[in-house]
A and B are shown apart, each in its own frame.
Chain A
């Protein structure tokens, strides 16, 4: 922190009393060295943070106009769309922002999976990320209930009913969650309260996530540790400039959807006011939940289905100990790379299964894909570390490829000491 320099007397005055500038400089400024080889795949962390800010700002503005009551919620949303100045813009940003938040975070997660960013010493960093994902899912689910359309209501009913699978206490838990004997006004009110609260808890966990990140700094596409200052560049201006450009590209895509396809990712049924007496033909969650929904419905037993659905996320918590390979980056793991692509195909397939009724071929595909998902994490990753012969690792970030095509060391042996897996 001592590296921070300034000529401004005002900043010096503040810095002397509260070292906020050197703190920021250390966090995201020139005082934070980052590996020099980070690719654009490393943009998605800061993008996720930006999206969170966008969601909180638009959310607070929407909250000023929204009424959390079963008789007025739908009308108040329509009022926002029609009579509130730029209300349509706020709502479309918030509504599509949720989808874009998940797109960004899913890419962020798959980047971590490919480059082994969860491996020692970054296990806690990864686990905090999984906590953020779970909090995001809870927030998104409760937010989707607030407009009180048909999918809001029936989605809430289906998902809360999952807890009735819990032995003995199931029914009691569901009644307790609902605050009554069905999804009704108390449910809407508490979901609103929690939907407002959880984003700030996410902010808190993001702070922990970044704190843990700064302990060892970012992983990088090669997955080897920087050898010294020659492998690093200061975060500012290099990565602030790169992240700003990435943010620009992201905003172009985001704006294209918000302004020209705002209802593309939504479901038309949610423009029908909630009706507890009319069940929609197909109750489907938002697209970002579809793979998990597919896992839930692939298992014939309700309790086991719920366990598998939650298990599919919980398994990420123990991922750092499931992957036994000492090599971080998928670049140097030829077999892992194939399985990584298979996992992506598997998750996409689960998404399609989740969007379709669980019958015929969809059910079969869903079961195979569900089995494969768990097989990947619980069997393939532990075995790969034993049987796979990784390619030789480069000696340093600055000199990624040794001339002559091969490492002087035996194949598979790390070119430099690695952390114990």
Chain B
């Protein structure tokens, strides 16, 4: 029993600590991300081909103006359910720089399935210069490079003023107001200490400077009260609430080939789904293999347990 306890505690030490992802999210202090149901969640999860294709459309028509997707080659689009002809057609819509040729010159040609999605800017400096100093990040790994990635991407795309529900705005205002009050109270305590020191000191040194009383904070009641930088846009889910990217998706930003109504939320879901695939293209392979591996291991471990019992029958 005691060793059970020992083992339990040791195992607890190993698994009880929340994943680094959650820790980071909690530390940012923003409102909780809306938790969507994704078809790729869970041990049997798979990608939804229709959603992936719509997401690709959103990426190509909206995101790709500023964001690269450098780890995805056109040939990878076979995962989305496209056949070879369709992939060749998509690739051919892009112009890629190749070379040098036999004359030593770089030249341009239509894309091939083996080409990768071309970046919208020639280099990072150009990307930064065209976007107010901050280069738009490549999206290939975005869904894994942020805590709770798919939900995060969806939340950012739907987190702009006018899109986000009032309840979330209220949450932010209340928390920001509380933060300011906390900061004020801290500053006020410091002020009182300094005031005492000043009152003591001024008796002998009339030139001592009186400390300045900190101003009571105004409550945060609107997005304007947050005091974001002029170049940034309010986003409920971006750390600090100010994001350089202007709202990218509006109702009917794209006309879906399959006739799905292109609401902002639909497009955000589709492109998040697509980016999850871009970040983890082997997810389906992984989960399918995992089920088989686990079934084998459970059966085999059962056999090993039976063998152990048989071997140990005469001991004790």
Contact = CB atoms under 8 A, between A and B. Distances in A.
A110 B13 CA distance: 11
B52 to A, nearest CB: 16
A327 B298 CA distance: 40
A305 B106 CA distance: 56
Contacts of B12: 348
Interface in B269-316: 279, 281-282, 285-287, 289-291, 293-294, 297-298, 300-301, 304-305, 307-308, 311-312, 315
B308 A241 contact: yes
Contacts of A380: none
Contacts of B300: 248
Given A39-B3, A355-B17, A249 B308 contact: no
B293 A268 contact: no
B301 A284 contact: no
A260 interface: yes
Nearest to A349: B13
Given A41-B6, A255-B293, A331-B2, A89 B286 contact: yes
A110 B301 contact: no
B9 interface: yes
Nearest to A264: B19
A103 B140 CA distance: 32
A88 B286 contact: yes
Interface stretch (B143-151, B220-228, B246-254): B143-151
Contact of B287 (A259, A265, A330, A340): A259
Interface string A211-251: 00000000001000000000001000110011011011101
Given A81-B282, A244-B308, A347-B13, A41 B3 contact: yes
A416 interface: no
A29 B284 CA distance: 42
Given A106-B13, A259-B289, A290-B17, 20 more contacts: A40-B3, A82-B281, A88-B285, A89-B286, A92-B286, A245-B308, A248-B300, A251-B297, A255-B290, A255-B294, A256-B290, A260-B287, A263-B144, A272-B141, A281-B24, A281-B27, A281-B239, A282-B23, A284-B23, A355-B20
B10 A344 contact: yes
Contacts of B27: 281-282, 356-357
Chain B interface size band reads: 35 or more
A377 interface: no
Given A41-B6, A89-B289, A287 B315 contact: no
Nearest to A261: B19
A258 interface: yes
B16 interface: yes
Nearest to B25: A268
Chain A interface SS verdict (over half): helix
Nearest to B146: A268
A98 to B, nearest CB: 13
B6 A110 contact: yes
B7 A107 contact: yes
Interface string A20-47: 0000000000000000100111000000
A344 B9 contact: yes
Interface of A: 36, 39-41, 75, 78, 81-82, 88-89, 92, 102-103, 106-107, 110-111, 114, 221, 233, 237-238, 241-242, 244-245, 247-249, 251-252, 255-256, 258-260, 262-269, 271-272, 281-282, 284, 287, 290, 330-331, 337, 340-341, 344-345, 347-348, 351-352, 355-357
B190 to A, nearest CB: 16
A205 to B, nearest CB: 23
B171 interface: no
Contacts of B307: 241, 244-245
- 6 nearest A-B pairs in the assembled complex, by CB-CB distance: A259-B290, A248-B301, A271-B145, A267-B20, A241-B311, A245-B304
B40 to A, nearest CB: 12
A251 B301 CA distance: 9
A260 B144 contact: no
B71 A78 contact: yes
Given A267-B21, A282-B24, A290-B17, A249 B141 contact: no
B43 interface: yes
A337 B9 CA distance: 13
Contact of B297 (A233, A248, A263, A356): A248
B180 to A, nearest CB: 18
B308 A259 contact: no
Contacts of A352: 17
A351 B13 contact: yes
B14 interface: yes
A248 B17 contact: no
A265 B17 CA distance: 10
Contacts of A348: 9, 12-13, 16-17
Nearest to B2: A331
Contact of A241 (B290, B293, B298, B312): B312
Contacts of B13: 106, 344, 347-348, 351
B140 to A, nearest CB: 8
17 contacts: A40-B3, A78-B141, A82-B282, A89-B286, A110-B10, A221-B3, A244-B304, A245-B304, A248-B301, A252-B297, A252-B301, A259-B287, A263-B21, A263-B144, A348-B9, A355-B17, A355-B18
